[in-house]
């Protein structure tokens, strides 16, 4: 395993693992309250090392092994974190972004910023604009947000999710589903049809809004939100290889 490294960036110590190699650089972007140690990220890292391809895994500020306050994080901040780490380890050359759930939103924003350097993008249950379609706060949650600056919801994957004022206030500046998404690089959107967190039809909406022509949505009929079974990970690796 590559050693854990850090970059000081805007008051936070960002944690990352970098495997040197040939391009395009694979970059794994985790989901909400997730980190770089998940099974998909680990499998992609092993795949990259085996074929001598460069790979970057990272934790956003306030997440995983990175420093900073999670409740100060936001879509804009975490996108900037990812772009700063890409610039640090891979200042030039092609980049292949792979984003899981919220990481798919960040991948789309970062991919747009990378412009011609973007070699391709893979979304895994990509969840752009989830603050609009998936985060309507109830009355009790609004009171909690007002009182303490965040509200909580249960999670099937560990500790309860915390949604902060910083996240909610920042998100409108980064919405993507209200217009075209200016990405011309190849895009593959993987989505399980048994996903109970992100509607699989959202991937069709993303595909329709991308300006490039080389866009495919790949539905896994019995797949759940995580798509972390052996067969799902094999499909993810094959997709990354296809775009590399």
Active site residues: 101, 195, 225
Strands of the chain, DSSP E: 5-9, 12-19, 22-29, 53-58, 95-100, 118-124, 150-153, 161-164, 187-192, 215-220
* 9-13 LR contacts (CB < 8 Å, sep 24+): 9/61, 9/81, 9/84, 9/85, 10/61, 10/77, 10/80, 10/84, 11/68, 12/61, 12/62, 12/66, 12/67, 12/68, 12/81, 13/66, 13/67, 13/68
């Amino acid at each position: 395993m590559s050693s854990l490294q850090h970059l000081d960036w805007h008051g936070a110590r960002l944690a990352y693992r970098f495997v040197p190699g040939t391009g395009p650089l694979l970059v794994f972007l985790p989901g909400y309250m997730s980190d770089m140690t998940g099974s998909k990220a680990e499998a992609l890292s092993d795949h990259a090392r085996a074929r001598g391809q460069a790979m970057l895994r990272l934790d956003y500020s306030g997440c995983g092994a990175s420093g900073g306050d999670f409740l100060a994080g936001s879509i804009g901040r975490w996108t900037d974190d990812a772009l700063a780490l890409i610039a640090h380890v891979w200042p030039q050359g092609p980049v292949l972004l792979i984003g899981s759930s919220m990481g798919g939103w960040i991948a789309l924003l970062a991919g747009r910023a990378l412009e011609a350097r973007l070699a391709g993008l893979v979304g895994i249950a990509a969840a752009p604009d989830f603050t609009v379609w998936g985060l309507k706060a109830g009355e009790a949650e609004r009171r909690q947000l007002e009182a303490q600056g965040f509200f909580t919801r249960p999670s099937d994957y560990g500790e309860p999710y915390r949604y902060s004022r910083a996240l909610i206030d920042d998100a409108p500046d980064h919405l993507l589903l209200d217009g075209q998404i200016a990405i011309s690089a190849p895009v593959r959107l993987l989505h399980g049809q048994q996903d109970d967190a992100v509607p699989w039809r959202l991937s069709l909406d993303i595909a329709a809004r991308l300006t490039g022509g080389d866009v495919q949505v790949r539905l896994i009929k019995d797949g759940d939100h995580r798509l972390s079974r052996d067969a799902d990970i094999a499909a993810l690796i094959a997709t990354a290889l296809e775009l590399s």
